[in-house]
Chain A
Amino acid sequence: MLEIKGVYKTFNRGTINEKRALSDLNLHLNEGDFVTVIGGNGAGKSTMLNVIAGVFPVDCGQIIIDGQDLTKLSEHKRAKHLGRVFQDPMTGTAADMQIVENLALASRRGKHRTLMPGVRSKEKNIYREMLQSLDLGLETRLTSKVGLLSGGQRQAITLLMATLKKPKLLLLDEHTAALDPKTAHKVLELTEEIVAKDKLTTIMITHNMKDAISIGNRLIMMNDGHIIYDVSGEEKKKLTTADLLEKFKTTSGGELDNDRMLLSND
């Protein structure tokens, strides 16, 4: 369903800060795949999600979803197919708008926006039930400004927004990294629940190797702008963190340099 073919991306070309972020990146995802992505600092994990989402254009290569070539489409046009949750809880929601307004905005992703009311009264009940299922006490605060909420609450709402209108592909960019362990756990549980319920095709970047192994049906490891290890099914379930570190050493010829990854042993 997702096809990334030979994508290259270099930042600050021709300057002293030139950085090749993606180099011959190839990836094929099947319908319903839940892929976790790990890799060192600057391996190109976030850049991969950003080129899928169209935050910046690629130097060459193709990005295809369900047979449609998205490579030249602008970010807001691709949004029709994508649900996105970001590392920074502030990025995914509009702080100056109400919870219900944020949800209503997200529910119209990919639709033509008209001069009809931005939130219809029927919608409010649906959103209230959804918020109730989050169990964060938000169902009574429908008209609160999102800026008043905590990072975890905002991230949970962003997750709802990303999946409210079922996306073809869900992109999660270390979406629990900025949260405290307890909240991170809760948001991760919620993620698994939603992905399982809607059978969403998902790419999740994580710095937690245990999560990367236990969640999803497929794991990819990135280094130097491309994929160096791709494992799925039974083989993935049997992995241990020691295996991953060893695998990294043998395929990349160096130590895994993601400090956060090495420090998170929970």
Chain B
Amino acid sequence: MCIAGGHFVRLLHFLEEKMNLLASFINIFNPAAFVASLPGAVAQGIIWGIMAVGVYITYRILDIADLTVDGSLGTGGAVLVLCVTSGMNIYLALLLAFIAGCLAGLATGIFHTCFGIPPILAGILTQLSLYSINLRILGGKANVALSVDRYDLLVTLRYIPKTILICSIFAVVIIAVLYWFFGTEVGHSLRATGSNRNMARANGINTNVNSIIALVLSNGLVALAGGLLSQYQGFADVNMGRGAIVIGLAAVIIGEVIFGKIFRNFALKLLAAVLGGVIYYIAITFVLRLGLNSNDLKLFTAIVVALFLGVPFWKSMAASRKIRKPDEKTTGGAENA
């Protein structure tokens, strides 16, 4: 009885501690402020979602984790800022940002196919060289501002509803174009290249050319997202792409985990990557509101991605270890006898 009483007191203490924690949590976490920051999270999420569609092309279709994107996102941002500040039309500037990204992808593709460098290393090489190139595009400055007051920008964090609308239109158009493209003969051969290179070559497909096409297309989209991002935040920064691949992968994987069971169509799978970006940014906003130090954000992102990548692996390990019990009907020997 005495021992049971001791347990009870300890339980009360425990509960009290938890209640205090909850109270302090509610003090820190302001639901109203969280809701107020949601539209911004959605806008950024869609921009990173477009970037994630680019990552999807290399990571899921070509079956390569392409690290070029850490550089090409910044290239897109830098090219857009350079073009707009020199008076160019915003759509034309976005097109040039896209093309600049395509060239970055081409570089990685050439490193990979002509130099025989493994894809991850080829991406790292381009990414590194892009750091210098991005600095040159920005005129040697690490950060160049792009004021919405002086230039006619498409998206900006000042007008978030318009930003969400325009970025959504971009996302839908890009998904529609990719859906068409991957249904064509060239698109099919690209998918075959990613799925089975031996089979692709045996069927007359030039796997090198297709790998390059995928890398070009992917980095073009990433740079386009970089162009949108630099408008949104009002500046281009030489470091804006650091860790972009991880955020892109996070969006792709979150999208797959959440929508994988219901989104079977290819266009919907791409949409899932965009939605994955939005969910990622809402989650980031949430943990920042909870008091996470924003300096720790990249650590947090990396851990989240590692966990999401690990879950399918652990699941398959568990499934292969599970021993099926023999079917009861087949063991009913006694009854039959």
- A residues less than 8 Å from B205 (CB atoms): 76, 79, 105, 113
- B residues less than 8 Å from A186 (CB atoms): none
Known: A94-B191, A94-B199, A95-B195. A115 touches B204 (CB 8 A): no
**B21 contacts the other chain (CB 8 A):** no
Is B192 a contact of A116 with CB atoms below 8 Å? no
**B140 contacts the other chain (CB 8 A):** no
Known: A97-B191, A105-B189. A91 touches B203 (CB 8 A): no
Query: In the complex, A80→B201 CA distance in Å?
Result: 10
- Least Cβ distance of A145 to chain B in Å? 10
- B residues less than 8 Å from A97 (CB atoms): 188, 191-192, 195
Select which of B186, B195, B196 is within 8 A of A113 by beta carbon: B186
- A residues less than 8 Å from B195 (CB atoms): 94-97
**B149 contacts the other chain (CB 8 A):** no
Query: In the complex, A63→B155 CA distance in Å?
Result: 60
- A residues less than 8 Å from B206 (CB atoms): 74, 76
**B202 contacts the other chain (CB 8 A):** yes
Task: Tell me the number of A-to-B contacts counted with CB atoms below 8 Å.
Answer: 83
**A190 contacts the other chain (CB 8 A):** no
Select which of A79, A96, A118 is within 8 A of B184 by beta carbon: A118
Query: In the complex, A119→B191 CA distance in Å?
Result: 14
Is A118 a contact of B187 with CB atoms below 8 Å? yes
**B207 contacts the other chain (CB 8 A):** yes
Known: A79-B203, A80-B204, A84-B202. A94 touches B184 (CB 8 A): no
Is A95 a contact of B196 with CB atoms below 8 Å? yes
- Least Cβ distance of B261 to chain A in Å? 15
Counting chain A CB atoms within 10 Å of each CB, which of B183, B194, B203 scores highest? B203
Interface positions, chain A 84-132, Cβ under 8 Å from B, are 84, 86, 90-97, 101, 104-106, 108-111, 113-119
Is B183 a contact of A118 with CB atoms below 8 Å? yes
**B296 contacts the other chain (CB 8 A):** no
- Least Cβ distance of B229 to chain A in Å? 30
**A187 contacts the other chain (CB 8 A):** no
Select which of B186, B188, B202, B204 is within 8 A of A101 by beta carbon: B188
Select which of A74, A105, A115, A117 is within 8 A of B203 by beta carbon: A105
Is A106 a contact of B188 with CB atoms below 8 Å? no
- Least Cβ distance of B138 to chain A in Å? 36
**A7 contacts the other chain (CB 8 A):** no
Known: A76-B207, A77-B204, A161-B203. A117 touches B184 (CB 8 A): yes
Is A110 a contact of B204 with CB atoms below 8 Å? yes
- B residues less than 8 Å from A104 (CB atoms): 188
Known: A94-B191, A96-B191, A106-B203. A117 touches B185 (CB 8 A): yes
- Least Cβ distance of B208 to chain A in Å? 9
Nearest-neighbor residue (CB-CB) of B190 within chain A: A113
Is B185 a contact of A118 with CB atoms below 8 Å? yes
Interface positions, chain B 159-211, Cβ under 8 Å from A, are 181, 183-189, 191-192, 194-196, 198-207
Is B192 a contact of A94 with CB atoms below 8 Å? yes
Query: In the complex, A116→B180 CA distance in Å?
Result: 10
Interface positions, chain A 47-87, Cβ under 8 Å from B, are 53, 74-77, 79-80, 82, 84, 86
Is A113 a contact of B185 with CB atoms below 8 Å? yes
- B residues less than 8 Å from A114 (CB atoms): 184-186
- A residues less than 8 Å from B200 (CB atoms): 76, 94
Interface positions, chain A 188-221, Cβ under 8 Å from B, are none
- Least Cβ distance of B232 to chain A in Å? 33
- A residues less than 8 Å from B196 (CB atoms): 90-91, 93-95
- Least Cβ distance of B22 to chain A in Å? 47
- B residues less than 8 Å from A77 (CB atoms): 204
- A residues less than 8 Å from B194 (CB atoms): 96
- B residues less than 8 Å from A75 (CB atoms): 201-202
- A residues less than 8 Å from B204 (CB atoms): 76-77, 79-80, 108-111
10 new A-B pairs (CB below 8 Å) besides A92-B202, A118-B185?
A74-B206, A91-B198, A94-B192, A96-B191, A101-B191, A108-B185, A110-B204, A115-B185, A116-B184, A116-B185
A-B contact pairs, 12 of them (CB 8 A): A91-B196, A94-B195, A94-B200, A105-B205, A108-B203, A109-B204, A113-B186, A114-B185, A115-B185, A116-B185, A117-B185, A119-B188
Chain B residues at the A interface, C-beta cutoff of 8 Å: 181, 183-189, 191-192, 194-196, 198-207
